[in-house]
Amino acid sequence: MEVLKTRMALRKTGQYSGMLDCAKNILSKEGMAAFYKGYIPNMLGIIPYAGIDLAVYEVWSL
């Protein structure tokens, strides 16, 4: 979904008719691996955020 969101935000006017059209084009032109572009950097950003969020929640909920 992150790839679709980014592609839809940065598209040229009229490039895609919607999310499904965007997904079809990515799949047909670039293959399934294109949906996982940027997965590792995204996880490297989310994991510390989630850990800090959980730790703070646990401290404040006591």
Reply yes or no on whether the pLDDT at 56 is more than 70.
Answer: yes
- One-letter amino acid identity for 10? L
**pLDDT (average), residues 14-38:** 94
Reply yes or no on whether the pLDDT at 61 is more than 70.
Answer: no
Q: What is the reported pTM?
A: 0.66
Q: How far apart are CA 24 and CA 46, in angstroms?
A: 27
**pLDDT (average), residues 16-26:** 95
Query: 10 Å Cβ neighbour count for 54?
Result: 10
For residue 16, give the DSSP letter. Answer: -
